[in-house]
Amino acid sequence: MARRRETNIFSLSLLDCICCGFGALILFHMIIASRSGRQYEKVTETLRAEVDKREKEVLDGNERLVELRNSFREIDEKRAAAQGLSTRILETLKQIEAELAIYDGQTVAQREHVNKLKADLKSLEEGTKRYSGGTPSQEVPGRNVRSFVGDGDRQYLTGLKVGGKRIFFLADASSSMLAEDIVNAVRRHLFPPPTRLRARKWRHAVRSVDWLAAQMPREAQFQLYVFNTRARPVLAGTDGVWLAAKDGATVDKAIVVGGGLIGFEVCEALRLAGIDTTVIEKTRQILPFLDPDLAKLVERHVRAHGPDIIVGNGVAEFLGEDGRLTGVKLDNGTELPCQLAVVAVGVRPNVGLAQAAGIEIGEVGGIRVDEHMQTSDPDVYAVGDCVECRSLITGKKVRAPYGDLANLQGRVAGQNVVRAGSARFPGITQTGICKIFDYTVGFTGISAKQAQDLGWRNVETATISGLDIPVFMGGKLLISKMVADRETGRILGFQCIGPGDVSKRVATVAMAIRGNLTVADLVNADLPYAPPYSLALDHVIVAAQVLENKLAGRMQGLSVTEVKQRVDSGADCFILDTRSPAEFEEMRLGIGETLIPLGALRDRLGELPQDKDKEIILYCKISLRGYEGAAILSAHGWHNVKVMEGGIMAWPYPREK
């Protein structure tokens, strides 16, 4: 058994001591090592922090470098763009300079031309003066008044032009204004004032002042004085006061008597001159050659431009004060103020001379002529407004005071004078045209109303709306009505209005009437087509197609007037608008209509009255979709389906929207 070594504190052997010493050395080393490790870690941490810091600085630096590089690139790009721009600006400047040089050249040329005109004018004036034997003119600079010294010590004003802003009228009211010679001047001086005022010389002076006042620009001011022994203002309380020209003799309100072609041309001119204008028409409608529904559309167009129109009321009396017009009184007693009235109530043939010569006057009051323009006296020919013409439609004599006819007839008469019987003027279709603000109004042949007045019951009409050329070519609206004989299909008349090219359509139909063409002929007419000039189916052809559909019983139409009458009388009918909801939102009649877009009609037939005999009236913007809708309903058994002809575009009455 192994002996166990005893241990106590004092029992260490040498080996123990060595081991202990060695252990102490290790311990000591560990202590030292641990202390120096801690120091080393501390240094490392500091160094790492330093490294991190530097690294961050380097990264920041890099970022800034990238930013700088980017901004350098941007600056480079901007510089390049600016260089491009400046090059372009320089080029444009060069171009402008070149254009300016051209304009400069033109201006110089124009100036030279004006100078030459002035020189010509001056030499003309000199010539005139030399011719009249007068002394040189005295021009008053800046006043546009040129005075010429005549014989003796009298002075005449001539070529006077009132262009100033302030004009002073001074009229001589001394006794010398009562007569030319001293004896009569003294004699008249003893007459009472009203008689004195009627003196010819004085009235002449008053008219001159009136004329001068009328020439003043509207923005000018004036003073009006008479002098005898002393000057005094003509208008009470205006001593030394400058009056606005428009307070004087200028026209603010005008009345046009007569709503025919000339009345409306005058009305437009007055309105464009800034004058408040009213047209008074005695009959129930304006423009008697149109049917009432189209006339009403023109009425609405005129009103939209400012002038008022009164129909069914004539002018009974002109009202005035001190020899000036102050207004008119209508048949119903209404008084309308105005300073100007234009009477445009038509013309009567001037046949006095012919009557006195024993020449025959015809049934409608013109000189009777044959087709050679020869009167009842074979040596006398007559042409123009004074003669009667034969209507190629009715065969009846009519009066047609138009400038083109006067010229045509003049040529025929001239030819026959040279060689008897060599030329004929067979008759007229009664074609006319005029401009009323943005609308052209044209007509040829007879209207439905005229046909009715002539006792013709057998006529059919078709009213259509549509563009003259495609939308992308700037198409403008046309609204027209074609009239034809129901039995033969012969075209009897055509009316067309709107901002589009009316003239071409009226001329086409005028030729169709002249050639006795029928609706069927016109449907297949070979008219010129290219988008700038027409639709593929020209307006006239579409009008003929609609009329053909009606003549063949494929379509039943109602005029807008007939629809309005039904609405006003509360007639039992169902009104169907076949446009889109967007169109309905933008514009609608508000006459109790139901909106069912054409595309949805087949699916929504259940919303229609199920009584198949009930009158259903369809329309859209121009009634093309209305017609298609009517065809769908007819195919589904509704018998009383009608189309409002021309659609909303032909509706002349007030709309809800």
Question: How many residues sit in the footprint of ligand FAD (CB under 6 A)?
Answer: 10
107 binds ligand FAD (CB under 6 A): no
**Could you report how far apart the first and last alpha carbons of the chain are, in Å?**
131
The residues pairing with 5 across neighbouring beta strands, listed in sequence order, are none
| Contact stretch for ligand FAD (CB under 6 A) within 96-104, 142-150, 195-203, 401-409 | 401-409
Could you tell me the smallest distance in angstroms from the CB atom of residue 358 to ligand FAD?
15
Using CB under 6 A, pick the residue from 210, 308, 370, 385 that binds ligand FAD. 385
Alpha helices in 146-227 (DSSP H): 182-189, 193-197, 200-215
Could you tell me the smallest distance in angstroms from the CB atom of residue 405 to ligand FAD?
7
401 binds ligand FAD (CB under 6 A): yes
| Contact stretch for ligand FAD (CB under 6 A) within 210-218, 277-285, 321-329, 403-411 | 403-411
CA distance readout (Å), 416 to 118, 246, 310, 411, 425:
49, 56, 47, 9, 11
Phi/psi at 320 (5° precision): -155, 170
Using CB under 6 A, pick the residue from 209, 319, 392, 406 that binds ligand FAD. 406
| Contact stretch for ligand FAD (CB under 6 A) within 183-191, 271-279, 360-368, 402-410 | 402-410
Residue for token digits 């330093």? 50
Nearer to ligand FAD, 186 or 272 (CB): 272
348 binds ligand FAD (CB under 6 A): no
Nearer to ligand FAD, 349 or 489 (CB): 349
Give the whole-angstrom CA distance, residue 250 versus residue 270: 13
Could you tell me the smallest distance in angstroms from the CB atom of residue 352 to ligand FAD?
7
Which DSSP helix (H) or strand (E) runs through 80? helix 14-132
Residue for token digits 């372009």? 88
Give the whole-angstrom CA distance, residue 302 versus residue 309: 8
The DSSP letter of residue 550 is: H
User: What is the pairing mode between strands 557-558 and 573-577?
Assistant: unpaired
Binding mask 2-31 for ligand FAD (x = CB under 6 A): ------------------------------
Could you tell me the smallest distance in angstroms from the CB atom of residue 442 to ligand FAD?
12
| Contact stretch for ligand FAD (CB under 6 A) within 335-343, 395-403, 524-532, 594-602 | 395-403
- Strand, coil or helix: 177: helix
CA distance readout (Å), 22 to 18, 25, 35, 283, 644:
6, 5, 20, 146, 128
Nearer to ligand FAD, 325 or 406 (CB): 406
How many Cβ atoms sit within 10 Å of the Cβ of residue 499?
A: 15
Tokens representing residue 216 in the block: 């003043």
Phi/psi at 567 (5° precision): -65, -45
Nearer to ligand FAD, 96 or 353 (CB): 353
Residue nearest ligand FAD by beta-carbon distance: 384
- DSSP string for residues in 448-472: HHHHHHTT---EEEEEEEEESS-GG
Yes or no: say if 505 and 433 are a contact pair by the CB < 8 Å rule: no
Could you tell me the smallest distance in angstroms from the CB atom of residue 558 to ligand FAD?
34
Nearer to ligand FAD, 504 or 550 (CB): 504
Tokens representing residue 427 in the block: 């008759």
Nearer to ligand FAD, 266 or 622 (CB): 266
Yes or no: say if 160 and 140 are a contact pair by the CB < 8 Å rule: no
Could you tell me the smallest distance in angstroms from the CB atom of residue 274 to ligand FAD?
21
Give the whole-angstrom CA distance, residue 381 versus residue 362: 14
Could you tell me the smallest distance in angstroms from the CB atom of residue 428 to ligand FAD?
11
Nearer to ligand FAD, 144 or 350 (CB): 350
DSSP E strands, 474-572: 477-485, 491-498, 557-558
Q: Kindly report each contact of residues 71-77 with a partner whose C-beta sits within 8 Å and lies 24 or more positions away, as own/partner.
A: none
Could you tell me the smallest distance in angstroms from the CB atom of residue 210 to ligand FAD?
24
Binding mask 259-288 for ligand FAD (x = CB under 6 A): ---x--------------------------
| Contact stretch for ligand FAD (CB under 6 A) within 54-62, 233-241, 400-408, 573-581 | 400-408
Produce one character per residue of 640-649: b if its CB has 16 or more CB atoms within 10 Å, e if not.
Answer: bbbbbbbbbb
- Report 481-520 residues binding ligand FAD (CB under 6 A): none
- Report 454-483 residues binding ligand FAD (CB under 6 A): none
| 184 Cβ contact list (under 8 Å, min separation 6) | 178
Give the whole-angstrom CA distance, residue 408 versus residue 383: 9
Nearer to ligand FAD, 306 or 432 (CB): 432
Give the whole-angstrom CA distance, residue 289 versus residue 609: 40
Could you tell me the smallest distance in angstroms from the CB atom of residue 527 to ligand FAD?
25
Binding mask 243-262 for ligand FAD (x = CB under 6 A): -------------------x
Tokens representing residue 6 in the block: 């005893």
Could you tell me the smallest distance in angstroms from the CB atom of residue 345 to ligand FAD?
12
Using CB under 6 A, pick the residue from 62, 132, 350, 488 that binds ligand FAD. 350
Give the whole-angstrom CA distance, residue 621 versus residue 520: 26
Could you tell me the smallest distance in angstroms from the CB atom of residue 262 to ligand FAD?
5
Could you tell me the smallest distance in angstroms from the CB atom of residue 549 to ligand FAD?
35
Could you tell me the smallest distance in angstroms from the CB atom of residue 353 to ligand FAD?
5
402 binds ligand FAD (CB under 6 A): yes
| Contact stretch for ligand FAD (CB under 6 A) within 1-9, 49-57, 287-295, 396-404 | 396-404
Half-sphere exposure of 128 (CA within 13 A, CB side): 11
Could you tell me the smallest distance in angstroms from the CB atom of residue 354 to ligand FAD?
10
403 binds ligand FAD (CB under 6 A): yes
- Strand, coil or helix: 653: coil
| 351 Cβ contact list (under 8 Å, min separation 6) | 361, 365, 366, 367, 386
| Contact stretch for ligand FAD (CB under 6 A) within 398-406, 478-486, 604-612, 643-651 | 398-406
DSSP E strands, 127-275: 138-140, 145-149, 155-157, 166-172, 221-227, 231-233, 243-244, 253-257
Could you tell me the smallest distance in angstroms from the CB atom of residue 266 to ligand FAD?
8
Nearer to ligand FAD, 382 or 509 (CB): 382
Could you tell me the smallest distance in angstroms from the CB atom of residue 602 to ligand FAD?
51
Using CB under 6 A, pick the residue from 112, 404, 453, 487 that binds ligand FAD. 404
Could you tell me the smallest distance in angstroms from the CB atom of residue 533 to ligand FAD?
24
| 231 Cβ contact list (under 8 Å, min separation 6) | 170, 225
Tokens representing residue 395 in the block: 């065969």
Nearer to ligand FAD, 231 or 364 (CB): 364
Residues that bind ligand FAD (CB under 6 A): 262, 350, 353, 384-385, 401-404, 406
